[in-house]
């Protein structure tokens, strides 16, 4: 679908440049004339929104780094005393950056579930999906490192809990896990050395993310966008040029997203935060509850659902690595869930399952639901939720692909056939 370039340099200078560095041609072909399915809906605007989020985080983060001091004795006051009080508009930049992380994850979750629903991971887009999973993992690592930097109580204890996960590997090979943990810390406990390397990595990884975003978009421009019908583009009647059609649509939905973003920054800047992180890190005082940021809660619930530490850690990593195999786990020829009645239901159960796991992850380990006379311990809900998560990808995806009878697919994007009968095409 990338097709032949239609770029014609208009001036002598652009002709000169085009023969040496065809960057204007690249921009013209990928951002102007690029043929894009005409039926992309609102959920397809989140790719652009995510690029915006990355830009906001990098720009605000670079400014914060000018004022931040990566030292265990000074970090907290450089943030809470310096940036939040002394630096001009430091409070604004800091709240943009901290809420920006949450908005970034909100957007990436919508983007990922959109990809799952419309089968955007299927041939020929497997590599786009895998690069996306890599981006998600890089984002989680970056967010984790960043959360440690203000050196509040939750920063410190979150870092301690997450890095201590690796000590579970002691159960496989004696001392292996402890060695990894000590190596990660750069010390025998989370401390100044840990903070310094986390700062360094927190500054580095966003540029790695930007590079993988480049690959992700490059790979996208080979087959072009999938679309809500999940059928291939048959010809020019199925597409519109990216500009002005999708630039205008993306810009409008981006502005709505920014309104939501600004709502949090200006009117509820600590909505996603934890009060404990406004107390300076203290290795001698453990907070009553160690809770990660909301975007990690489903995985935290899975970890705590397993009573054996090593298996819990393996389940946690397994849940993430599973995402890499999705392109080959789904056996259906049909991409979009619009034409997959059974898969559609399983998809929505998965979405609810992730919300449920997130809720359980936010509660105490001994919490229980009161169901009239019966008490349902949340840990059992977490176990059920974890089981469904894995079953969805490793059992339901392959099996439903074989047994499901998809609805009739439309002939083309331009002439959608609104067939509701279950006839196979």
Partner 1 sequence: MKLALPIYALALGLSLGTAAAAADNGAALPPKDVSWPSNGPFGTYDRGTLQRGFQVYKEVCSACHNMNLVAFHDLAAPGGPGFTEAQAKAIAAGYKMPAEPNDKGDIFDEKGNRLTRPGILADHFPPAFPNEEAARMANGGALPPDLSLIIKARQGGPNYVYSLLTGFGQKPPHGFAVQEGKYYNPYFAGRNISMPPPLMRGSVSFADGTPSTVANEATAVVTYLAWASEPNLEERHRVGFEVMAFLILLAGLLFLSYRQIWKDEH
Which residues would be at the binding site for partner 1 (CB under 8 A)? Answer: 38, 77, 80-81, 84-85, 91-92, 95, 160-161, 164-165, 167, 170-171, 178, 181, 188-189, 240, 244-245, 248-249, 251-252, 255-256, 258-259, 262-263, 265-267, 269-270, 275-276, 278-279, 286, 288-290, 304, 307, 309, 364-366
| Residue closer to partner 1 (CB basis): 361 or 401 | 361
- CB of 85 vs partner 1, minimal distance in Å: 6
| Residue closer to partner 1 (CB basis): 11 or 370 | 370
| Residue closer to partner 1 (CB basis): 14 or 51 | 51
- CB of 161 vs partner 1, minimal distance in Å: 5
| Residue closer to partner 1 (CB basis): 14 or 178 | 178
- CB of 303 vs partner 1, minimal distance in Å: 8
Q: How many CB atoms lie within 10 A of CB 145?
A: 20
| Residue closer to partner 1 (CB basis): 256 or 395 | 256
Q: Which residues contact 416 (CB under 8 A, 6 or more apart)?
A: 39, 229, 410
Instruction: Look at residue 376 and give its three-state secondary structure.
Output: strand
Residue with tokens 């002709």: 15
Instruction: Look at residue 136 and give its three-state secondary structure.
Output: helix
- CB of 364 vs partner 1, minimal distance in Å: 5
- 90: exposed, middle or buried (Cβ count in 10 Å: 0-12, 13-18, 19+): middle
Bridge partner list, 35:
241
d(CA 144, CA 162): 9
- CB of 36 vs partner 1, minimal distance in Å: 11
| Residue closer to partner 1 (CB basis): 169 or 199 | 169
Contact in structure between 199 and 79 (CB atoms under 8 Å) = no
d(CA 377, CA 16): 70
Helix axes 153-164, 126-148, angle to 10 degrees: 130
- CB of 97 vs partner 1, minimal distance in Å: 15
């Amino acid at each position: 679908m990338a097709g032949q370039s239609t770029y014609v340099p208009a001036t002598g200078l652009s002709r000169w440049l085009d023969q040496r560095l065809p960057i204007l041609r690249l921009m013209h072909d990928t951002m102007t004339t690029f043929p894009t399915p005409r039926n992309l809906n609102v959920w397809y605007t989140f790719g652009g929104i995510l690029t915006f989020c990355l830009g906001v985080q990098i720009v605000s983060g670079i400014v914060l780094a000018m004022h931040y001091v990566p030292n265990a004795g000074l970090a907290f006051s450089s943030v809470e005393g310096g940036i939040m009080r002394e630096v001009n508009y430091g409070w604004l930049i800091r709240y943009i950056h901290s809420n920006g992380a949450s908005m970034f994850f909100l957007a990436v979750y919508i983007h990922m579930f959109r990809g799952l629903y419309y089968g955007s991971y299927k041939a020929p887009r497997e590599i786009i999906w895998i690069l996306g999973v890599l981006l998600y993992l890089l984002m989680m690592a970056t967010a984790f490192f960043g959360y440690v930097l203000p050196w509040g109580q939750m920063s410190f204890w979150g870092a301690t809990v997450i890095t201590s996960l690796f000590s579970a590997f002691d159960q496989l090979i004696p001392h292996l896990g402890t060695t990894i943990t000590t190596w990660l810390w750069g010390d025998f406990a989370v401390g100044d050395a840990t903070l310094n390397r986390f700062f360094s990595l927190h500054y580095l990884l966003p540029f790695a993310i930007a590079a993988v975003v480049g690959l992700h978009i490059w790979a996208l421009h080979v087959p072009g966008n999938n679309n809500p019908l999940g059928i291939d583009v048959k010809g020019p009647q199925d597409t519109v040029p990216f500009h002005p059609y999708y630039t205008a649509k993306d810009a409008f939905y981006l502005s709505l997203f920014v309104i939501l973003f600004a709502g949090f920054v200006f009117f509820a800047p600590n909505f996603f935060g934890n009060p404990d992180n406004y107390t300076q890190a203290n290795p001698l005082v453990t907070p009553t509850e160690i809770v990660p940021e909301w975007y990690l809660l489903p995985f935290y619930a899975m970890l705590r659902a397993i009573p054996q530490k090593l298996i819990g850690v393996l389940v946690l990593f397994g849940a993430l690595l599973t995402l890499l195999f999705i392109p080959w786990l789904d056996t259906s020829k049909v991409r979009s869930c619009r034409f997959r009645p059974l898969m559609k239901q399983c998809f929505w159960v998965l979405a609810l399952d992730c919300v449920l796991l997130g809720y359980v992850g936010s509660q105490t380990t001994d919490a229980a639901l009161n169901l009239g006379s019966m008490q349902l311990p949340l840990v059992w809900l977490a176990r059920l939720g974890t089981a469904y998560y894995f079953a969805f990808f490793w059992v339901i995806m392959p099996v439903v692909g074989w047994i499901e009878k998809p609805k009739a697919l439309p002939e083309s994007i331009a002439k959608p056939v609104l067939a509701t009968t279950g006839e196979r095409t």
